[in-house]
């Protein structure tokens, strides 16, 4: 056992290992329906509990030729409500608005805002840039049609964890450089995938035994961006991008994570580009610790800090 590991994190990891042992092994095989269903069965129960919102319902939005299921959480009150568009993590290949439902409700309660989470298309069936384009379509729907759902299109933050943080950064870059920008109040980034390199020191230090492994990250990149050229595209690899002009960012980093070094590198790059940044390292945590809400104090503290930051970013309407 790594002595740096938070004791609550250790207990949670052991609980999840016990639950996983009761299921068939999750193998990275194709077709991907079975491993995806097993991962959903393991993670979706973690969304139980947490706050109850005034409205929690699903909407199906017509985006880029298909209907995308989106989870909508609204706080009490008439609105218009500021909006957090939250993009779930899962290596671009699994997880869903169900596995991340509690996290989205916690953010809505902590920030007093609406939260919308899209079930964007997953890899390896859909490759870069389809998920990114779908998320941009949902954002543009919020900006154009959101008032009908009591959403304030002038106060939008985009957030995500892991691969979702990658999509959030890619979306912000696409909006900045596109011909029809949607102003954002901020980016909420949780232990994001920001680089396609797999050779940073944290990859060696935490290659196995800490949840997310180097092997899985290699699989995820091959699934999401199978064309080598796409792993050089700044919209897929934000650390390769020019970052100046992005909205203020909040970056939360897990200490014992193969992605830790690229998150620290992203913090340095954002600061060098003059982007307003708040960052916080959560000692003793592993990748994905936000799924441990109600079990690990660091997860609860992360949401509380993000809620305060979101309230400040939204300000008054």
- Catalytic site includes residue 162: yes
Catalytic residue, candidates 101, 195, 257, 261: 257
Distance, CA of 143 to CA of 225 (rounded, Å): 29
Degrees to nearest 5, angle at CA 231 with 65 and 143 = 40
- Catalytic site includes residue 252: no
List beta partners, residue 74.
55
- Catalytic site includes residue 257: yes
8 A C-beta contact, residue 115 and residue 164: no
Catalytic residue, candidates 73, 81, 252, 287: 287
8 A C-beta contact, residue 10 and residue 4: no
Catalytic residue, candidates 96, 162, 202, 302: 162
8 A C-beta contact, residue 39 and residue 22: no
Q: Which of 216, 201, 209 is nearest to 10 (CA)?
A: 209
Q: Which of 183, 315, 191, 180 is nearest to 250 (CA)?
A: 191
Please give the positions annotated as active site.
Answer: 162, 257, 287
């Amino acid at each position: 056992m790594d002595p740096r590991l938070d004791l609550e994190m250790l207990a949670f990891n052991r609980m999840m290992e016990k639950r996983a042992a009761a299921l068939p092994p999750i193998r990275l095989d194709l077709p991907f329906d079975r491993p995806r269903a097993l991962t959903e069965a393991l993670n979706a129960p973690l969304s139980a509990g947490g706050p109850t919102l005034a409205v929690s319902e699903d909407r199906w939005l017509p985006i880029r030729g298909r209907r995308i299921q989106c989870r909508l959480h609204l706080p009490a009150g008439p609105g218009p409500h500021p909006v957090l568009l939250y993009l779930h993590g899962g290596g671009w290949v699994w997880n869903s608005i169900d596995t991340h439902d509690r996290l989205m409700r916690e953010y809505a309660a902590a920030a007093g805002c609406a939260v919308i989470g899209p079930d964007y298309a997953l890899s390896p069936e859909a490759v870069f840039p389809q998920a990114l384009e779908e998320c941009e379509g949902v954002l543009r729907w919020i900006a154009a049609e959101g008032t009908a759902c009591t959403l304030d299109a002038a106060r939008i933050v985009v957030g995500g964890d892991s691969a979702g943080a990658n999509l959030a950064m890619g979306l912000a870059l696409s909006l900045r450089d596109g011909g029809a920008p949607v102003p954002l109040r901020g980016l909420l980034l949780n232990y994001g995938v920001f680089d396609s390199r797999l050779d940073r020191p944290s990859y060696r230090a935490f290659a196995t035994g800490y949840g997310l492994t180097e092997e899985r990250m290699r699989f995820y990149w091959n699934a999401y961006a199978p064309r080598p050229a796409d792993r050089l595209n700044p919209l897929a690899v934000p650390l390769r991008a020019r970052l100046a002009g992005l909205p203020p960012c909040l970056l939360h980093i897990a200490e014992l994570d193969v992605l830790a070094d690229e998150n620290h590198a992203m913090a340095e790059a954002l600061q060098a580009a003059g982007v307003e940044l708040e960052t916080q390292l959560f000692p003793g945590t592993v990748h994905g610790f936000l799924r441990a809400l109600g079990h690990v104090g660091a997860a609860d503290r992360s949401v509380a800090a993000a809620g305060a930051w979101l309230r400040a970013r939204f300000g008054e309407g």
